[in-house]
């Protein structure tokens, strides 16, 4: 009697291709059905089905479960690098970087020239702050395959170790290899911007915008540079694009606000800045700009609130105290204004405007000697700035004011002002400068009526002004910071010389 | 005139100004489940009319069929034994009339159909079997070892050997001990086989580049090999190996002259095989898995899972991002008009036509398109055939007047640039208030200061009062640093009052403490209005419990004051005011 004919056993891998086809089409539900079927048919011996099941679990966020499945894959087929790589990747996602490094090393033993292993080793080392090894692994990865992700990571490593030059080199190489990668172009552009190489920064940001006109980061950075040059309309064009893409960006609305300010549309400026403030209530730069615009609008009481809120958030900036002092002067609170000015000159290191405004204030209040001291301090700062960079430009109004002050204080001229560049377009207040030339010196002498309030200035700063702070959005991208700084600082100068001017002959 | 039987209506909403496609046929319930690799167009009867041949996967588990469509109707269907992985129509001989055969790849076999009738079955050669494994089975067959020993030996082979185990051994390893014997008895007589399956299939002209020249079949297998089959004798002409299982294949050239096989593999790389080598000549590493692979002239266009379309020769030429994940891709080749493009089916129910990186046409479809085939159908050269996720079949005909203009390069400023900024207008009231502030700024500021000073004074007073009467929940005294919080549980009339005491000192215990309560005796009754507290070890939380009974039935509540006292001192260390809840128990009565 012959034994019964053995049934044909189905091939274990027979549906692998189908599982793969559904997996890459992101049709995970169908994929799971086939995986289940396949595992039932093979009594769980189909390695690829388990592998894809684990990948799907990981995509669904069940990382621990996926790790276990990958480990069982590695048991089914211990000689596969893919399984080890995926185990390492799951460990990495679970934040177990050291364990991940070990698995990657093991995988590297099985397959030598593997870009993925080296790249991921670099990333793991980066996270456990082993920058030296991270750099080595990433460089090896680059030798195997020039991948833009590896370039990005290597640049980041260099930036974190403080080696900006190397980072720039890396990004430059990356841009050569990927001339159309907007992420790389923007990163390099921003790096140049940080270093003050505006020409190059603009070039790269411009390139990024050519390939992707909706790139939010590039728009903000390029827009802020245009704003600095006074090209408000062009900057606004760019911001409109960004406003469609990211309508709830505080720095964007801040910059738009300052564009309107530059175009002297103050009410629109306030609307935009208030929106920025609503979106990011703890951002002192928005408050600073709001203070500035309200000073310009002669709404000194409101300006005071915005500025003191800004000081609460950032108490290390001389210019903020100076603005507060200007507001207090106009609110006829001479005592607190003096304190604010004192704080401002103490904190500020390089801005001659602070000393000039203080000097004018002191002169207007009859303290000629102290005014002279401040004037000399201002001259010192001006000379220092001119020494450090030959191209230092000063606002023509600042120079004009300084000259008037010198005449009033009757001191010898020992500052040689650099001529302002012909292209300095941003003189929004030059009209005001010629309008009221004959205001009497010390017209604000109503100091006697000044409040004899016991509230001292120092208490003032502890004022929790922002009672409407309902929520906080954490923003930590430096692009934004930069654009704000850039815009606000420049405009401060203009606005300021105007304010100070009103109390001079 | 078969094309006439297709209705020629046109209501494509996407392109109102230039309509390029005619909607010829749409059957949303055709019940087709297939991929682009299992769809082909061929003149199967030699009458000059092209038919549509579809390898239908049925439910994916059963009901696999080979279907042939003519015009809008299903012409024939025949059952397939296993899932079709690929389908190609090709000329296998030089007989007249020139009628192509259809090859369906399925499992380890190629089924060749001629005149829609089964003609030949080719099975891939078995893979090498591990000699040690063979030896083990021989031993068990001869009764030298028992199944348990065999299991151990097979496990050992699986862990170390380069040649993987056969299906039989793998199945054996997954069995329970009591099933082993039966399994061995059933299978031991058969020789051990190790088979692989076909993952993709393509065609390669044998010696001429003619349209109806004889073609070889090119087969990619799960075992990471590529075979070239002779079409007449079905013998393997060439065998090549890859680093990973292939998923998609594209072939160009002639086998006898020079050819190039481009293969997308499951490891996410693309390899190029040439005539002279059995190993890939070039490889291209992609950052994500390829979903579609189409050759246009000498370039290869690859669609990836990261929603990108990339163009390659030997190196990357361009990359463009798509609005949605790619589902399928196919070539659009219109030799009469010298047009070559790539059709991309996307998950957002659109089919895009690209020439290089430029989008030429966008077809909106009612369902997600899962397979695309472009070519001659019936007597119409420019026919686009698509199947959808829901099983629908859609046929569109390219208008003869349709022109694809290359809107190349810089796409101009984005539309958003002309959208007005949404800046809220300020009201008249706001302007009035601004003017008021300008005029009365100083007065406003002073008023603000006055109120601020008053508020500070009031706050300071309250604070001092709290400090004086130890009203804070923390005792700041140096000798007895204590923390207390109170919890009231229950609905009433009896409440449980729990006071959690904690000694916050670093190491010193606190002794001789007591708690007493002050309350309205008309409202509440307390069982123990005076409690002694045990020694408090630093850090631990001591719950002190007592019961409070509400004696009023008027539904009112009051405050109970809790004092933490030190023995022998009149001033309390801590005071807490507990707002008692309204007793619900009495209100119900």
Q: Which residue of B has its CA nearest to A270?
A: B426
Q: Between B168, B411, B446, which is nearest A451 by CB?
A: B446
**Distance separating alpha carbons of residues B241 and B128, to the nearest angstrom:** 14
Please, what is the angle between helix A182-195 and helix A198-211, to 10°? 160
Q: Between B57, B83, B414, which is nearest A241 by CB?
A: B414
Cβ–Cβ contact B367 with A under 8 A: no
Chain A, chain B: beta-carbon pairs less than 8 Å apart: 165
* Chain A residues with CB-CB distance to B449 below 8 A: 451, 453, 455
pLDDT in tens, chain B (589 residues): 333 333 334 444 444 446 788 899 999 998 899 999 999 999 888 888 899 999 999 888 888 999 999 988 898 889 988 899 999 999 988 888 888 999 999 989 999 998 888 898 999 888 888 888 888 888 888 888 888 888 888 888 877 777 788 888 888 888 888 888 888 888 888 888 888 899 999 999 988 888 888 999 999 999 899 999 998 888 899 999 998 899 999 999 999 999 999 999 988 889 999 988 888 888 888 878 999 999 988 889 999 998 999 988 877 788 888 889 999 999 998 888 888 899 999 999 999 999 888 888 888 999 999 999 999 998 888 899 999 999 999 999 988 888 777 664 445 566 667 777 878 788 889 889 989 999 988 999 999 989 999 999 999 998 888 877 766 667 666 677 888 888 899 887 888 989 888 888 878 888 888 888 988 888 888 888 888 888 888 888 889 888 998 887 777 888 888 888 888 887 888 888 888 888 876 555 4
pTM of the model: 0.70
Burial class (CB in 10 A: 0-12, 13-18, 19+), B429: exposed
CA-only gyration radius of chain B, Å? 42
Q: Do B441 and A331 touch (CB under 8 A)?
A: yes
What are the residues facing B261 on neighbouring strands? B251, B273
Pairing of strands B299-304, B380-388: unpaired
**Distance separating alpha carbons of residues A132 and A121, to the nearest angstrom:** 12
**Residue A494 domain flag:** yes
Residue A490, domain extent:
316-427+465-505
**Residue A83 domain flag:** no
Residue window 209-248, chain B: list those with CB within 8 Å of chain A.
Answer: 222, 245, 247
Q: Do A42 and B287 touch (CB under 8 A)?
A: no
- Distance from the Cα of B1 to chain A's closest Cα (Å) equals 38
Cβ–Cβ contact B357 with A under 8 A: no
Q: How many CA atoms lie within 13 A of B453 on its CB side?
A: 11
Pairing of strands B258-265, B246-254: antiparallel
Domains and CATH numbers, chain B: 131-188 (no CATH), 482-579 (2.60.40.1230)
pLDDT digits (tens, 9 = 90+) for B233-280: 888 999 999 988 999 999 999 999 999 999 999 888 899 999 888 888
- Kindly write down the DSSP assignment for every residue of B258-279, as one continuous string: EEEEEEEETTSEEEEEETT-SS
pLDDT in tens, chain A (505 residues): 555 667 778 888 888 999 999 999 988 999 999 999 988 888 888 889 999 999 999 999 898 999 999 988 888 787 788 888 889 999 999 889 989 999 898 888 887 788 888 999 999 999 988 888 899 999 998 888 888 889 999 999 998 888 888 899 999 989 888 888 888 999 999 888 888 888 888 888 888 888 888 888 888 888 888 888 888 888 888 888 888 888 888 888 998 998 898 888 888 899 999 999 999 899 888 999 999 899 888 899 999 999 999 999 988 888 889 999 999 998 888 888 999 999 898 888 888 888 888 888 888 888 888 888 888 888 888 888 888 776 667 777 788 888 888 888 877 655 555 443 333 333 333 333 322 222 222 222 222 222 222 222 222 222 222 222 222 222 222 222 233 333 333 333 333 333 333 233 2
In order of A429, B263, B489, B525, the CA distances from B560 in angstroms are 66, 82, 14, 11
Q: Do B83 and A20 touch (CB under 8 A)?
A: no
- Distance from the Cα of B589 to chain A's closest Cα (Å) equals 45
Q: How many CA atoms lie within 13 A of A412 on its CB side?
A: 1
**Distance separating alpha carbons of residues A491 and A266, to the nearest angstrom:** 13
Q: Which residue of A has its CA nearest to B268?
A: A24
- Distance from the Cα of A286 to chain B's closest Cα (Å) equals 17
Q: Which residues of A301-321 are buried (b: 16+ CB within 10 A; e: fewer)?
A: bbbbbbbbbbbbbeeebbbbb
Tokens of B436: 């008021």
Determine contact, residues B223/B242, Cβ cutoff 8 Å.
Answer: no
Which residue, B216, B220, B260, B211, is CA-closest to B243? B220
Cβ–Cβ contact B447 with A under 8 A: no
**Residue A490 domain flag:** yes
Sequence-distant (≥ 6) Cβ neighbours of residue B16 within 8 angstroms: none
- Kindly write down the DSSP assignment for every residue of B401-437, as one continuous string: T-------S---S-GGGGSPP--PPPPHHHHHHHHHH
Cβ–Cβ contact B107 with A under 8 A: yes
Tokens of A317: 């900036």
Tokens of B451: 């109120």
Q: ∠ at Cα A263 (A260, A264), nearest 5°?
A: 85
Q: Do A453 and B446 touch (CB under 8 A)?
A: yes
Cβ–Cβ contact B60 with A under 8 A: yes
**Distance separating alpha carbons of residues B24 and B8, to the nearest angstrom:** 5
Cβ–Cβ contact B307 with A under 8 A: no
What are the residues facing B250 on neighbouring strands? B262
Q: Between A12, A26, A455, which is nearest B453 by CB?
A: A455
Tokens of B273: 């095989």
pLDDT digits (tens, 9 = 90+) for B121-149: 999 888 888 888 888 888 888 888 888 88
Q: Which of B167, B172, B389, B457 to mutate to test the interface with A (most CBs of A within 10 A)?
A: B167
Q: Do A271 and B423 touch (CB under 8 A)?
A: yes
Tokens of A277: 């403030």
Phi, psi of B452 (to 5 degrees): -65, -45
**Residue A459 domain flag:** no
How many domains in chain A? 1
């Amino acid at each position: 009697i012959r034994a019964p004919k053995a049934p044909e056993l189905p091939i274990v891998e027979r549906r692998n291709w189908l599982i793969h086809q559904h997996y890459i089409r992101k049709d995970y539900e169908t994929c799971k059905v086939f995986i289940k079927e396949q595992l039932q048919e093979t009594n769980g011996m189909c390695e690829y089905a388990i592998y894809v099941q684990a990948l799907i679990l990981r995509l669904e966020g069940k990382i621990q479960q996926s790790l276990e499945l990958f480990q069982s894959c590695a048991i089914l087929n211990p000689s596969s690098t893919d399984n080890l790589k995926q185990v390492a990747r799951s460990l990495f996602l679970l934040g177990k970087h050291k364990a991940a490094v070990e698995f990657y090393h093991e995988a590297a033993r099985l397959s030598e020239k593997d870009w993925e292993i080296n790249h991921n080793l670099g990333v793991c080392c980066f996270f456990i702050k082993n920058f030296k090894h991270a750099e080595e692994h990433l460089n090896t990865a680059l030798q195997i395959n020039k991948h833009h992700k590896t370039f990005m990571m290597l640049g980041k490593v260099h930036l974190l170790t403080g080696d900006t030059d190397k980072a720039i080199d890396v990004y430059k190489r990356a841009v050569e290899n990927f001339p159309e990668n907007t992420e790389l172009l923007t990163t390099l552009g921003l790096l140049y911007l940080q270093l003050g190489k505006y020409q190059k920064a603009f070039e790269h940001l411009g390139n990024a915008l050519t390939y992707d006109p909706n790139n939010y980061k590039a728009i903000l950075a390029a827009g802020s540079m245009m704003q600095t040059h006074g090209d408000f309309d062009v900057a606004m064009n760019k911001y409109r694009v960004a406003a469609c893409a990211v309508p709830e960006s505080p720095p964007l609305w801040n910059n738009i606000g300052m564009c309107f300010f530059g175009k002297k549309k103050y009410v629109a400026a306030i609307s935009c800045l208030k929106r920025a403030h609503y979106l990011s209530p703890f951002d002192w730069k928005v408050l600073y700009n709001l203070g500035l615009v309200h000073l310009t609008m002669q709404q000194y009481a409101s300006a005071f609130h915005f500025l003191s809120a800004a000081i609460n958030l950032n108490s290390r900036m001389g210019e903020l105290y100076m603005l507060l002092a200007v507001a207090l002067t106009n609110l006829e609170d001479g005592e607190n204004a003096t304190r604010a000015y004192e704080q401002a000159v103490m904190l500020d290191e390089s801005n001659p405007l602070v000393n000039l405004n203080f000097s004018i204030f002191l002169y207007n209040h009859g303290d000629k000697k102290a005014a002279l001291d401040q004037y000399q301090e201002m001259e010192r700062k001006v000379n220092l700035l001119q020494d450090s960079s030959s191209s230092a430009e000063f606002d023509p109004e600042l120079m004009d004011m300084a000259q008037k002050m010198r005449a009033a204080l009757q001191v010898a001229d020992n500052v040689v002002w650099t001529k302002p560049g012909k292209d300095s377009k941003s003189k929004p207040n030059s009209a005001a400068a010629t309008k009221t030339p004959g205001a009497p010196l010390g017209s604000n002498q109503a100091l006697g009526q000044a409040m004899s309030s016991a509230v001292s200035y120092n208490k003032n700063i502890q004022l929790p002004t922002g009672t409407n702070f309902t929520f906080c959005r954490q923003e930590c991208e430096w692009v934004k910071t930069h654009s704000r700084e850039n815009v606000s600082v420049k405009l401060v100068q203009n606005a300021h010389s105007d304010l100070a001017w009103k109390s001079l002959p | 005139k078969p094309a006439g039987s297709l209705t020629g209506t046109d209501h494509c909403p996407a392109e109102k100004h230039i309509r390029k496609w005619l909607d010829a046929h749409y059957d949303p319930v055709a019940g087709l489940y297939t991929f682009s690799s299992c769809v082909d167009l061929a003149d199967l009867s030699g009458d000059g009319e092209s038919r549509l041949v579809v390898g239908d996967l049925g439910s994916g588990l059963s009901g696999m069929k080979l279907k042939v469509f003519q015009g809008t109707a299903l012409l024939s269907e025949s059952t397939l034994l296993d899932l079709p992985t690929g389908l190609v129509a090709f000329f296998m001989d030089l007989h007249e009339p020139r009628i192509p055969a259809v090859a369906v790849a399925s499992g380890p076999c190629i089924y060749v159909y001629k005149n829609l009738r089964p003609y030949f079955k080719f099975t891939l050669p078995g893979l090498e079997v591990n000699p040690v494994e063979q030896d083990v089975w021989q031993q068990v067959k001869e009764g030298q070892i028992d199944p348990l020993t065999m299991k151990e030996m097979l496990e050992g082979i699986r862990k170390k050997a380069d040649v993987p185990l056969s299906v039989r051994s793998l199945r054996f390893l997954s069995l329970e001990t009591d099933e082993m014997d039966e399994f061995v008895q059933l299978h031991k007589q058969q020789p051990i086989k190790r088979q692989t399956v076909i993952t993709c299939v393509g065609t390669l002209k044998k010696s001429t580049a003619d349209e109806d020249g004889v073609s070889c079949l090119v087969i990619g297998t799960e075992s990471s090999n590529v075979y070239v089959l002779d079409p007449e004798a079905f013998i393997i002409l060439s065998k090549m190996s890859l680093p990973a299982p292939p998923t998609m294949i594209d072939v160009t050239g002639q086998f006898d002259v020079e050819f190039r096989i481009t293969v997308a593999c499951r490891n996410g790389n693309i390899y190029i095989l040439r005539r002279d080598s059995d190993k890939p000549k070039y490889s291209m590493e992609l950052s994500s898995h390829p979903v579609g692979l189409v050759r246009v002239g000498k370039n290869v266009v690859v669609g990836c899972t990261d929603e990108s379309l990339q163009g390659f020769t030997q190196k990357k030429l361009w990359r463009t991002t798509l609005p949605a994940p790619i589902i399928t891709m196919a070539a659009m080749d219109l030799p009469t008009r010298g047009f070559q493009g790539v059709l991309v089916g996307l998950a957002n129910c659109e089919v895009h036509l690209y020439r290089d990186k430029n989008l030429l046409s966008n077809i909106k479809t009612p369902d997600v398109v899962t397979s695309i085939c472009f070519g001659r159908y019936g007597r119409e050269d420019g026919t686009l055939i698509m199947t959808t996720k829901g099983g629908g079949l859609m046929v569109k005909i390219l208008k003869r007047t349709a022109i694809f203009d290359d809107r190349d390069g810089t796409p101009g400023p984005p539309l958003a640039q002309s959208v007005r900024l949404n800046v809220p207008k300020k009201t008249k009231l706001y302007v009035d208030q601004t003017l008021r502030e300008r005029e009365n700024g100083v007065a406003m500021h002073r008023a603000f200061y006055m109120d601020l000073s008053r508020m500070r004074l009031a706050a300071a007073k309250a604070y001092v009062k709290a400090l004086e009467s130890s009203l804070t929940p923390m005792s700041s005294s140096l000798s007895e640093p204590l923390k207390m919080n109170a919890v009231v549980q229950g609905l009433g009339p009896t409440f449980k009052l729990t006071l959690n005491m904690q000694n916050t000192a670093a190491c010193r215990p606190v002794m001789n403490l007591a708690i007493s309560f002050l309350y309205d005796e008309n409202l509440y009754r307390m069982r123990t209005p005076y409690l002694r507290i045990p020694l408090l070890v630093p850090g631990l939380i001591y719950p002190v419990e007592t019961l409070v009974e509400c004696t009023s039935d008027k539904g009112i509540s009051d405050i109970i004051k809790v004092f933490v006292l030190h023995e022998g001192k009149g001033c309390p260390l801590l005071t807490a005011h507990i707002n008692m809840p309204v007793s619900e128990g009495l209100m119900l009565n």
